[in-house]
Structure 1
Amino acid sequence: MSVTEGIILLHGFGGHHLQTALLARRLREAGYLVANIGYPSWRWPLDRVLDHLHDRLAASPIAHAARIHGVGHSMGGLILRAYIARHRPIRLGRVVMLGTPNSGSEIADLLYRLRLNRPILHHAGDLLRTRRLPAVEATLGTVDYPVGIIAGDKPMNGMTSNRIFRAANDGKVSVRATHLAGQSDHIVMPVAHTAMIYTRPVADQVMHFLRDGSFQHA
């Protein structure tokens, strides 16, 4: 890599930055500066999460990178969309989403029907459900930057998840829900939702998109 490029790396709902540490290491080994930032996805409302990210990034070495990319797992991809809509980096590069429920998750809808959304999803529920309020949808902005999306279709609990989704899914998000208007590329890989952030082939595809603006299709 001839110039220094940075990556904002965000974990998903209920996660921790330690979960994305292996992916961060692989990205650093490829020559990127990586800001692997944790955030209280359950406890904090979106506005507070975005302020937290903005403060952390302003103090991070990637703030001075030649280009700033984004990689988000699951809900982390939605947080990236909202962050770019509010605090778009001047030198914004490419964004990769891993199993991100861009159209919402059917599991979140199930929790709403069971009235378990508050104790389980709390502040994240408005982002994760399929029927988002217009104001919530507006915070995610319009995608006018290069976005590559990786979806999984090999859930670990196949029989149970297939009864919920009735379509290809990774155990938590359906493949169709990962699609996004304006996406540059989309690929489906044989991985489960949580496992994808630890899988070397997924990391290779992330780096391929950041470098070339497309995935390596078979």
Structure 2
Amino acid sequence: MALITAFLYLITAVGATETEPEEMETEASVILLHGMGRTRRSMATMASRLADSGYRVVNLDYPSTGASIETLSEGVVAETVRDCRLAHPSAPVHFVTHSLGGILVRQYLQTRRLPPGSRVVMLSPPNQGSELADLLKDWFLYRWIMGPAGQQLGTAEDSVPNRLGPVDVPVGIITGDSTLEPWFSARLPGPDDGKVSVARARLAEMDDFLVVHKSHGFIMNDTQVIDQTIHFLEHGRFRHDH
């Protein structure tokens, strides 16, 4: 396991990009974690906007389909947080995650804490699992493409998302109710984003929750979502227009 963790971190270190604005307004870091089967390119727009807002941004590329949630959390999340804290020991370390990335952070926070002032924004997280993982987990093609983590995202009580305990950090969740995948949405109860139902994105301990008319695969690129993400990192809440 130690060798696997070291190998995964080596891959991650090579694939990570750090973006710094010309004039830093804060020493706070923001770690970006993309979703399953994606790359750091999917978070590039978010990374650029966060850097323009004065954050030290670490946009990770990690092998989301190559290992279990536990191994990815140890080999990706833990090492990256450690590096941020070594660089700026007293500064907050925020997270902005998409889909699976949120579950990796929850796994990490089961046994560790972030520095004071840190916050987490999750975009379309399967926090209570997804019915699609239940439906597809035994399909060879799904198992081959999505790997070990894809087998852990079901809705059963013993699935990883449903086994994890509460996290001790302010969490804001943004999820979508628009879909580009009606064939998947037909198998999800209630409003959904094509992959995760609105109801299953929630966490009991979340500090704020927002539903936008966006789909799962593109929610992180939406201007409104990026603005709300920055607002939560700054204020610990979303901006709710009445």
Please report the TM-score for the alignment, with normalisation by the length of structure 1.
0.89
Equivalent residue letter for 1:182 = E
Task: Give the fraction of aligned pairs with identical amino acids, expressed as a percent.
Answer: 38
Report what 2:99 is aligned to: 74
Counterpart residue identity of residue 175, structure 1: V
The answer to whether the aligner puts 1:209 opposite 2:224 as a matched pair is no
Matches within 5 A, 1:1-218: 3-53=26-76, 54-60=78-84, 63-64=87-88, 66-91=91-116, 93-112=118-137, 114=139, 117-133=142-158, 137-138=162-163, 140-157=164-181, 159-218=182-241
Question: Which secondary structure state, in structure 1, belongs to the residue aligned with residue 216 of structure 2?
Answer: coil
Unaligned runs of 5+ in 1: none
The Cα offsets for residues 57-93 of structure 1, whole Å up to 9 and x where unpaired, read as 4334784161111111000011111122234233351
Structure 1 residue 217, shift from structure 2 partner: 1.1
How far apart, CA to CA, are the structure 1 residues paired with 2:148 and 2:203?
23
Structure with higher RCO (Cα < 8 A, 6+ apart):
1
Change (3 A) 1:62 1:187: farther
**Contact 1:41–1:123 at 8 Å: present in 2 too?**
no
Distance 1:3 1:23 in 2: 17
Tell me which moved more, 117-126 or 207-216: 117-126
Letter in 1 for 2:187: I
Contact 1:35 1:57 in 2 (8 A): no
Q: Distance in 1 between matches of 2:159 and 2:180?
A: 33
The question of whether the paired residues in 2 share the 8 Å contact of 1:161 and 1:169 is answered with no
* Residue pair 1:109, 1:130 contacting (<8 A) in 2 also: yes
Gapped regions of structure 2 (runs ≥ 5): 1-23
Q: Within 2, Cα distance between the matches of 1:166 and 1:58? A: 39
Letter in 2 for 1:210: L
Mark the CA change 1:78 to 1:63 in structure 2 (over 3 Å): closer, same or farther: farther
How far apart are residue 200 of structure 1 and its match?
1.0
Q: RMSD in angstroms over aligned alpha carbons?
A: 2.3
Q: How many equivalent residue pairs?
A: 216
Alignment deviations for residues 151-176 of structure 1 (CA, whole Å, 9 cap, x no partner): 1011113x323311131000111000
Partners of 2:185 and 2:151 in 1: CA distance: 24
C-alpha distance in 1 between matches for 2:186 and 2:70 = 35
